[in-house]
Chains A and B, each alone.
Chain A
């Protein structure tokens, strides 16, 4: 336990704020959040709708500009990084998975997975790409296009695409939000296995069952961190969420 806290966090937020709009109609989507996402561990972010979960995730991943504070990925300050640097980070150190799988419809599963590597100027070997697809259980669907895959399969392709670059941190915004419980379980099993293998994961979710699979749960309300739970089961998470949603 001591070694966990001593290791530098995968992502650290210091006093991060993000305000949308101006004047009286301004929305403080993220309001002075200071938070560490530990390395090699899976953290879930929960909270009522509109509490700023997605915005927090986007800020942590360098997709959204922050109005105040600092975001550190390892020892890289994302808030001062330029576009080229952020692009390079997306190719090498950050992976994304979203609720709407955001695959490129024109490309096959295999091509979608290989895309980040090809954008980085690498020539991915077919076997490496196949191995990544195999890891998400889709080796036999390599040549299918997204529209020929089920939602759960598409999401697993998206995870394979995010993992193919072996990122330091995987960001996931409601990765099971559009899936039925069986497909969701497959995806969560996959994430659990990755976390057990040392992958840092930050995941936003509505589902207490999904959050309970993570190592820790952070609760957000009105853009602020209001609570934190570690190693809780689904019922405990649900009770806590209900308390904060009241």
Chain B
């Protein structure tokens, strides 16, 4: 059987190059993310880096599994006729299965062989991005581990075998008679597996959408950010039903070419669905997650704007001044809290805020009572609302001494906020003077009624940089959004590129098996350029459908965003990155258009007779 596998590989090389590429890039992406995660966890780098790399690794594994299995299923689908022929001359179901698994094994090993060195390239790219955005220190390097060889080869083989498993079972049931039909009977559109997967992930997405508003600010955001993925899988699973329906609604223009393209979209449902699948995932992940991220930022900023009763923000301590009604000077101290004990002991890095409770309450509109040695849970959460926590204040620079404050009772709590903030509120008296003096302090200043704002601003400027509350909020929003964008770029950038390559892959595979169809169209009287234009129209219709379906999956995430922001802040907020959405749509249309042109141009290179004469 392995001999057959080899001969098959050599013959249908375009199909297999596509499958090989999908395995190689998947392995490279997973390997790089895993090595970086391990290096970052060991190197004690920026706190943001480790969870971010964790998400990157999860996303890479999901994408690799998804793209590889859909590519493999598609290649198997395209070869139904070959497989039926094998059955006709005496091949058993088991032999068909073993043939496909044998091929997958070869592709898995081959993909890993290419993926391991390619992974080093991907890793240097990812490292460069992370250093550039200062998620890791400039001297951070992803380290090579010998055992990663085993992991990567295993990843390649397991993903390839798992990817082909379902397709192989399906293919083994192909009827020998299908070898006698010219184009091979169309496989059934919706298999049981598709229904099961579709409904399973639909359930997952729905559960997240329903639970997110009850998850509090942090939990709700995390859940909403995770809706896009299962929603995309749901839409993809139902793709063979949804894609052709939507694609036929696209404007084809009149004329015979439009009619031909429309007929092709309807006839080749599985091909349309296979091309659309990676595109749907790409759109859903990029648009859904950046949209959710941006919305949560706006929601947080809006919440702060509504709840903060101050006119100026000064980046320094401010004493009582003429014209000033209230000053809440808040000193930010990095801290470490320990909760639980024994097995459940947990250390968390937080920010503690040394405050004046009365001024804090007046400015932020929420009462805080701090008594004795007690602390309050701040708007950032992460601290239990009662009991006690062990608090250790950290030095302000690496190596400088901190202070262990021991176990402190939690005596109050302010509501958690969307935008987070400090997790601990305490009195300045609890902080050693040496730390308090050096730590950065921000003062929220509320004016007396009738005070001359510009005079007070000039007065305050003597203490430190002054901005109005509006200016300060705007700068804060910009910074958060830019951090957001950077995180998205690190997490989704390469994954998005991989999904895009998956799209190209499916189109190349689809075109490779269409040479005969194109030749038939040409002997029927179409010119070469008409064939190419009709294929282009078809590609645009499928891309358009994929964009809509990707947007549908993303809007499930937006639904969770709206309900979560409404539950947490009282105002439902959705703020979409339109330029990014437009850019992604433009890239998708360009890539599919160019790919369609190139593939159909190359598939029509030879005069049609040479193709129609070959009867294999």
Residues of A that sit less than 8 Å from B by CB: 58, 63-64, 83-84, 87, 90-91, 96, 98, 100-107, 111, 115-116, 119-120, 146-147, 151, 154, 161, 165, 173, 178
Within 8 A of A (CB), among B83-109: 85-93, 95
Decide: A63 and B89 in contact? CB cutoff 8 A: no
A105 to B12 CA separation, bound complex (whole angstroms): 10
Note all chain A residues with C-beta closer than 8 A to B90.
87, 90-91, 115-116, 119-120, 165
Contacts of A147 in B (CB 8 A): 614, 616
The answer to whether A87 and B93 have CB atoms under 8 Å apart is yes
Q: Which of B8, B95, B179, B615 contacts A119 (CB 8 A)?
A: B95
**CB-contact partner of A101 in B176, B182, B615, under 8 A:** B615
Residues of B within 8 A of A91 (CB): 90
Given known contacts A111-B7, A119-B92, A100 and B177 CB-to-CB distance under 8 angstroms: no
A96 touches B8 (CB 8 A): no
Interchain Cβ contacts under 8 Å between A and B, 17 examples: A63-B88, A83-B93, A84-B92, A87-B91, A96-B88, A98-B180, A102-B85, A102-B179, A105-B614, A106-B8, A106-B10, A107-B7, A115-B86, A115-B89, A147-B614, A154-B615, A173-B180
A100 CB contact (under 8 Å) in B87, B93, B615: B615
**Segment 580-616 of B: residues with Cβ below 8 Å from A:** 614-616
Q: Does B139 contact A (CB under 8 A)?
A: no
The residue on B at minimum CB distance from A104 is: B85
- The answer to whether A87 touches B92, judged by C-beta atoms less than 8 angstroms apart, is yes
Whether B180 and A119, one on each chain, are in contact in the complex, defined by CB atoms closer than 8 angstroms, is no
13 further interface pairs, Cβ-Cβ under 8 Å (given A90-B89, A102-B85, A119-B95): A90-B87, A90-B90, A91-B90, A96-B88, A98-B180, A100-B180, A101-B616, A102-B179, A102-B616, A105-B11, A106-B7, A107-B7, A165-B90
Shortest B144–chain A CB gap in Å is 39
**How far does the alpha carbon of A151 sit from the alpha carbon of B615 in the complex, in Å?**
8
Does B82 make an interface contact (CB < 8 A)?
yes
Within the complex, what minimum Cβ distance (angstroms) separates A99 from chain B? 9
Which residues from chain B contact A84 at a C-beta distance below 8 Å? 92-93
Chain A residues with Cβ below 8 Å from B175 are 63
How many Å lie between the Cα of A12 and that of B590 in the bound state? 61
Interface residues on B, range: 20 to 34
Contacts of B91 in A (CB 8 A): 87, 119
- The residue on A at minimum CB distance from B12 is A106
Task: Determine which residue in B89, B615, B616 has the highest number of CB atoms from chain A within 10 A of its CB, and name it.
Answer: B89
Contact residues of B: prevailing secondary structure: helix
Residues of B contacting A83 in the complex (Cβ-Cβ under 8 angstroms): 93
Q: Are B87's CB and A87's CB within 8 A?
A: yes
Complex Cα distance A104/B89, Å?
10
B8 and A90 within 8 A (CB) = no
Report the Cα distance A147→B610, complex, angstroms. Answer: 10
Q: How far is the CB of B89 from chain A (nearest CB, A)?
A: 5
Closest CB pairs A-B (n = 6): A106-B11, A91-B90, A105-B616, A90-B90, A106-B7, A87-B92
CA distance A174 to B92 in the complex (A): 26
Please name all residues of chain B whose beta carbon is closer than 8 Å to the beta carbon of A106 when the two chains form the complex.
Answer: 7-8, 10-12
Of chain A, the residue at the smallest CB distance from B175 is A63
A178 to B182, CA, bound (A): 14
Tell me which of B86, B87, B93 has the highest count of chain A C-beta atoms within 10 A of its own C-beta: B87
- Residues in B neighbouring A90, C-beta threshold 8 A: 87-90, 176
Chain B residues within CB distance 8 Å of chain A: 7-8, 10-12, 82, 85-93, 95, 175-177, 179-180, 182, 614-616
Cα separation A120 to B177 with both chains bound (whole Å): 19
A58, closest chain B residue (CB)? B177
A120 vs B614: C-alpha distance in the bound complex, in angstroms?
28
The answer for the CA separation of A95 and B36 in the assembled complex, in Å, is 59
* Nearest CB of chain B from residue A155's CB, rounded to whole Å: 9
Which residue in chain A gives the minimum CB-CB distance to B613?
A151
Q: Is the CB of A102 within 8 A of B8?
A: no
**A87-B90, A90-B89 known; A63-B176 Cβ under 8 A:** yes
Partner of A102, one of B12, B88, B93, B614: B88
Give the distance in Å from the alpha carbon of A119 to the alpha carbon of B176 in the complex.
14
Q: Please report the C-alpha to C-alpha distance between residue A105 and residue B51 in the assembled complex, in whole angstroms.
A: 51
Given the complex, which residues of B lie within 8 Å of A64, measured CB to CB?
177
Residue of B nearest to A112 (CB): B89
Which residue on chain B has the smallest CB distance to residue A83?
A: B93
| A151 CB, nearest partner CB in chain B, Å | 7
A residues less than 8 Å from B89 (CB atoms): 90, 96, 115-116, 119, 161
Inter-chain contacts of B614 with A (CB < 8 A)? 105, 146-147
Report the bound CA distance from A132 to B131 in whole Å. 69
The one of B93, B182, B616 that contacts A104, using a Cβ cutoff of 8 Å = B616
Q: Which residue of B lies closest to A162 (CB)?
A: B89
Closest residue of chain B to A147, judged by CB? B614
**Cα distance, A115 to B180, chains bound together (Å):** 18
Cα distance, A225 to B95, chains bound together (Å): 38
Of A84, A115, A151, chain B has the most CB atoms within 10 Å of the CB of: A115
Q: Find the A residue at minimum CB distance from B616.
A: A105
- Write the nearest CB–CB distance from A74 to chain B, whole angstroms: 18
Q: Which residue of A lies closest to B610 (CB)?
A: A147
Contacts of A98 in B (CB 8 A): 180
| Most central of A58, A84, A90, A173 by chain B CB within 10 Å | A90
In the bound complex, CA of A178 to CA of B613 (Å): 11
Chain A nearest CB, measured from B5 CB (Å): 10
- What are the residues of chain B within 8 A of A111 when measuring CB–CB? 7
> Residue of A at shortest CB range from B82?
A104
A71 to chain B minimum Cβ distance, whole angstroms, is 15
Q: Which of A98, A104, A147, A161 has the largest count of B CB atoms less than 10 A from its CB?
A: A104
B201 to chain A, nearest CB (A): 32
**Chain A residues whose CB sits within 8 angstroms of the CB of B11 once the complex forms:** 105-106
A16 vs B95: C-alpha distance when bound (angstroms)? 31
Cα distance A107–B85 in the bound complex, in angstroms: 13
* A116 CA / B177 CA spacing, docked (Å): 16
A101 to B95, CA, bound (A): 22
Q: Give Cα distance in the complex from A104 to B4, angstroms.
A: 11
Q: How far is the CB of B10 from chain A (nearest CB, A)?
A: 7
CB neighbours (8 Å) of B616 from chain A are: 101-105, 146-147
Task: Name the residue in A83, A84, A151 with the highest tally of chain B Cβ atoms < 10 Å from its Cβ.
Answer: A83
Min CB distance A179 to B, Å, is: 11
Contacts of B176 in A (CB 8 A): 63, 90
Complex contacts, B85 vs chain A, CB 8 Å: 102, 104
In Å, the complex CA distance between A44 and B182 comes to: 24
In the bound complex, what is the Cα–Cα distance between A63 and B84 (angstroms)? 11
CA A197 to CA B90, docked complex, whole Å: 24
CA distance A101 to B180 in the complex (A): 9
Residues of B within 8 A of A161 (CB): 89
Q: Give the complex CA separation of A102 and B615 in angstroms.
A: 7
A98→B87 CA distance, assembly (Å): 15
Q: Which of B8, B12, B615 contacts A178 (CB 8 A)?
A: B615
Q: How far is the CB of B323 from chain A (nearest CB, A)?
A: 88
CA distance A96 to B89 in the complex (A): 8
| Interchain nearest-CB distance for A200 vs B (Å) | 18
Residue with the greatest number of chain B CB neighbours at <10 A, chosen from A64, A100, A161 = A100
How distant is the Cα of A87 from the Cα of B176 in the complex, in angstroms?
10
CA distance A107 to B614 in the complex (A): 14
Contacts of A146 in B (CB 8 A): 614-616
Complex CA gap A63/B176 in Å reads 7
Taken together as a complex, chains A and B put the C-alpha atoms of A63 and B85 apart, in Å, by 12
Q: Are B180 and A104 in contact (CB under 8 A)?
A: no
